[in-house]
Amino acid sequence: MTATLPPMLVLLPGMDGTGTLFQPLLDALGPSTPVQVLDYPSDRALDYPALEERVWQQIPRERPFVLLGESFSGPIAVGIAARRPTGLIGLVLCSSFVRNPRPALAPLAPLLKFMPLQYLPSWPMDALLLGGFSTPTLRNMLITAVARVAPAVLRLRLREVIGVDRCQALAALEVPLLYLRAREDRLVPPQASALIQLLRQDVHLIEVDAPHCLLQAEPMKAAAHLQQFMQMLQQTGHDWQSSTG
Within a domain: 201:
yes
Task: Supply the pLDDT for residue 6.
Answer: 86
Assess whether pLDDT exceeds 50 at residue 87.
yes
Assess whether pLDDT exceeds 60 at residue 149.
yes
Task: Supply the pLDDT for residue 237.
Answer: 39
Task: Supply the pLDDT for residue 32.
Answer: 92
210-237 pLDDT, tens per residue? Answer: 999 999 999 999 999 999 999 999 885 3
The overall longest dimension of the chain from CA atoms, in Å, is: 54
Task: Supply the pLDDT for residue 106.
Answer: 55
Task: Supply the pLDDT for residue 238.
Answer: 41
Task: Supply the pLDDT for residue 242.
Answer: 31
Q: Span 1-12, mean pLDDT?
A: 82
Residue 18 belongs to what domain range?
A: 8-244
**CATH code of the domain containing 80:** 3.40.50.1820
Neighbouring CB atoms inside 10 A of 109's CB total 14
Within a domain: 2:
no
49-83 pLDDT, tens per residue? Answer: 999 999 999 999 989 999 999 999 999 999 999 99
Whole-number Å distance between alpha carbons of 162 and 97: 11
The strand ranges marked E within 50-183 are 65-70, 88-94, 177-182
**In 3D, which of 79, 80, 90 has the Cα closest to residue 58?**
80
Whole-number Å distance between alpha carbons of 29 and 19: 15
Assess whether pLDDT exceeds 60 at residue 107.
no
pLDDT, the chain, mean: 89
Assess whether pLDDT exceeds 60 at residue 118.
no
Within a domain: 83:
yes
Within a domain: 53:
yes
Within a domain: 16:
yes
Number of separate domains in the chain: 1
User: Kind and range of the H or E element at 11?
Assistant: strand 8-12
SS3 of 181, please?
strand
Assess whether pLDDT exceeds 90 at residue 45.
yes
Task: Supply the pLDDT for residue 4.
Answer: 74
Q: Span 103-129, mean pLDDT?
A: 60
Task: Supply the pLDDT for residue 50.
Answer: 98
22-36 pLDDT, tens per residue? Answer: 999 999 999 999 999
Residue 98's pLDDT band, with cuts at 50, 70 and 90, is very high
